[in-house]
Amino acid sequence: MPGSINRGNGAIVKPSYTFVRRGDEIEVVRARGFKTGTYVCYCRSGDANKKCELIFSLRQILCKLGSCSGASCLRVPVEPAANQ
């Protein structure tokens, strides 16, 4: 995803980008406010209602087990609305 680098169950942002938390979603935002994409943490159980714990900072995100009950976490990049 533009502006970020995937690292296992997490991601970091590149210089001049930041993460912005919007509820259960994390947006990747360019310094001037332009959104380049969104990350969401889900369980791999296939149940979209089960979420993983999201560790968040302006420069790094990490999906950890939460309500997954032992299942692994999945960080899902979501395309910006303009690209869908």
Instruction: Show me where the domains of the chain are located.
Output: 4-79
Q: What is the rounded distance in angstroms from the CA atom of residue 60 to the CA atom of residue 72?
A: 19
Neighbours of 51 (CB within 10 A): 17
83 contact partners, CB below 8 Å, separation of at least 6: none
pLDDT digits (tens, 9 = 90+) for 15-74: 999 999 888 788 889 977 788 888 877 766 666 666 677 788 888 888 876 555 555 565
75 token code pair:
């960080």
Is pTM beyond 0.75? Reply is no
Q: What is the rounded distance in angstroms from the CA atom of residue 9 to the CA atom of residue 1?
A: 15
User: DSSP assignment, residue 72?
Assistant: P
